[in-house]
Structure 1
């Protein structure tokens, strides 16, 4: 089997508590060393967040592909989370709250968890708290509510906006004991209700960022076990894929849905390209018990499980890479010009080759969505 995914030493740059020492980097990495030198060894949260555009510029000069840059942006975002949480815990200790009363784990959700973040994320996070007696709820949950409010406020002040949908650990819906998360999954998966499918889809893309990772492993075990048996719920999850089609009309021509389009010929490439791919792969992964969160790793697991052919997975890898490249290039250019990063691209700004490849990539994603809706393990064709 051809290699679908390779782990990279690039991914070690932002995994520790400290930033890399620019002097320790090879001269071949001079653009990155220069960017790190300008940032400094102990930047504030806000300075580190604002630096991401410069990080992307350095990595592009080093000829890294957009999908690898996206992974490193996500790693850096997770580092910002760890810094904000540690800062909040220190503040609470200093103000008399004491240490955490129970083991806990903060989760990042969505693109940051999948290591697919670009330059326009908001906050999506949750928290698992180790089980404790109901009699202690006010005391224990009060501590973790304060922690959730503090670290999300710190991140918002640094430039990672609060989630408009309230998917954050500062709210009880997304901050629960492990037993409560299990009960919540049981409720969500018991019926075919769109809102519950949407909430479950949000939760399924999680990664531990701070605290006791064993709690995250236990939640993954329980989620996969419960959902594997929830046939009607999975049917509704498959039906929901049709709610966000790819940006193609019935004749296979590029066509956005025009919802909130900033100008004629614009299409939201995240909503009508990346998210349909991510959602279809997520559904197939749940159906076949795959444990990975990153879309690329999920594709690899699906090949190993015999759900996809290797060539089909490679086609989807390439499609995802090109979509990420289009979005990252657009976001980086707009930020560099003093504008805002968003998920819109303008078809008139693409050359003929780019438009042709985009059509082919969206067609491949549409075929995958058909397979996921059918709930089969057969070929895409």
Structure 2
């Protein structure tokens, strides 16, 4: 983006606005309110259509500007900005930072120049309905992968699109169901919480409700029941399958006030078996994606205190995770995880998951707030929990595994198959198979060491 354009109060005379606009060689200026938040935009086209030979120099800016002004947030993906520019036939898109103030400007020509023509076809679909957006992910990922964009970045992009879809569905549901009786925060968990979604993740979500008196429960819960059912159904229609384990906001177990969530985590720490461990593995990667983020931060702080006081929960999680093996045979070949005559290897279950689980355990032990696997590895290295060389090897292993699984998913998608995590390792070139073996060996060494450090069982 370019720097923020000149800004004026909406009642500034056009003569001054145009003089300053010319001096700055700006193609657009903004009208702002008393808090410097954009309320309108004046472009060169506006001047040609509304000002020249029509308005006097003393006319105020608001007489010629376009209002309201379309903007995008500073943390939005470039794909979102391109979709807005093209869908709205806009030439200028102000970028808004904290407090609602303009911090920069995207210009159509320069922005589209940063995006390949092949990719634009897929970006256009991102302004369509939810199902079209989800379908466009694969085409966009394939185009970017062909241009050399790292798979790790593509997974982040796919995850960002998924979160945007969650917000779109939620906004539509709220428009239908009205104002909630208490504020709430939408959280996602599992791969979505880590920002590591591949092409077909199922739903793992919940709500943190603002606290309310027990006597109000029936009145409040009767509103949230149909609302959360509509939310999860809407996400399913958009391309996110319902969670087979019921880890969704429509399930009361995953729809609680902050004190209730804290008590739920406390209960899991005491129980330390069965569903408590399964739920802990998924839920502890939570992050807020809509609503006030403060309750999620407070829950993260409670979890950190809980695990510091109850290390036995981490030991129990590690004991369960010891069942996660890597996809290598005793002789160094790749395991056969495919039912029937096929020989493909499940590199999510037997590659990514052991790495994710081991990094999670160390991060939770050390009170690291990050949920992404690479962010956790980086933080662990900074804290001295793992050596810098090992952190680099694990990051390379993560990248190799994500790249291999994503390429297989795109191949499956192109063949009209449901994208999964079974990879045809036999079809990989020899150098790729060698690099994949090295990645799995690094994951095996790391995960065994981490799990053993919590359980005392080295093998």
Equivalent residue in structure 2 for 1:123, among 184, 189, 203: 203
What's the offset of the Cα at 1:38? 3.6
- 1:12 deviates by 3.4
Deviations 1:184-212 (A, max 9, x none): 11110013313211111111111111111
- CA drift of 1:16 comes to 6.7
Bigger RCO of structures 1 and 2 (CA < 8 A, at least 6 apart): 1
Change (3 A) 1:164 1:219: same
After superposition, the Cα gap between the structure-2 partners of 1:277 and 1:57, relative to the gap in structure 1 and judged at 3 Å, is same
In structure 2, what is the equivalent of residue 39 of structure 1? Answer: 125
From the superposition, tell whether residues 21 and 246 of structure 1 become closer, same or farther in structure 2 (CA, over 3 Å): same
Calculate the aligned-residue CA RMSD, in Å: 2.3
User: Against the structure 1 CA distance between its residues 263 and 228, is the aligned structure 2 distance closer, same or farther, given a 3 Å change threshold?
Assistant: farther
Please say if 1:292 is aligned against 2:370.
Answer: yes
Matched, 1:328 2:406: yes
Deviation (angstroms), 1:70: 0.3
Question: Could you tell me the TM-score, scaled by structure 1's length?
Answer: 0.89
Equivalent positions of 1:219-234 (< 5 A) are: 219-234=299-314
Mapped pair 1:105 → 2:213: no
Deviation for aligned residue 1:264: 3.0
In structure 2, C-alpha distance between the alignment counterparts of 1:32 and 1:112, rounded to whole Å: 27
Structure 2: runs of 5+ lacking an equivalent: 1-72, 87-107, 455-459
Instruction: Point out the more displaced range, 247-256 or 146-155.
Output: 247-256
2:270 is the counterpart of 1:190: yes
SS at match of 1:12: coil
3-state SS, counterpart of residue 160 of structure 1: coil
Alpha-carbon separation, structure 2, partners of 1:371 and 1:115: 25
With over 3 angstroms needed to count, the CA separation of the structure-2 counterparts of 1:70 and 1:254, relative to structure 1, is same
- State which drifts further: 46-55 or 164-173: 46-55
Cα gap change, 1:234 to 1:37, in 2 (>3 Å): closer
Q: Which of 315, 334, 337 in structure 2 is aligned with 1:235?
A: 315
CA contact 1:56–1:69 (8 Å) conserved in 2: yes
Is residue 396 of structure 2 the alignment partner of residue 311 of structure 1? Answer: no
Specify the alignment match of 1:212 in structure 2.
292
Match of 2:430 among 328, 352, 357: 352
Q: Is the 8 A contact 1:74 1:113 kept in 2?
A: no
Q: Quick check: 2:122–2:136 contact (8 Å CA) kept in 1?
A: no
Aligned length: 361
TM-score using structure 2 length = 0.74
Q: Does 2:254 align with 1:168?
A: no
CA drift of 1:169 comes to 0.5
Distance 1:30 1:359 in 2: 34
Contact 1:110–1:124 (CA under 8 A) maintained in structure 2: yes
Give yes or no for contact 1:277–1:369 (8 Å, CA) kept in 2: yes
Q: Quick one: distance in 2 between partners of 1:344 and 1:366?
A: 19
Distance in 2 between residues matched to 1:202 and 1:217, nearest whole Å: 17
Paired with 1:218 and 1:15, the residues of 2 have a C-alpha distance of: 32
Query: 1:230 offset after TM fit, Å?
Result: 1.5
Of stretches 239-248 and 262-271 in structure 1, the one that deviates more from structure 2 is 262-271
2:334 alignment partner, one of 254, 278, 283: 254
Larger radius of gyration: 2
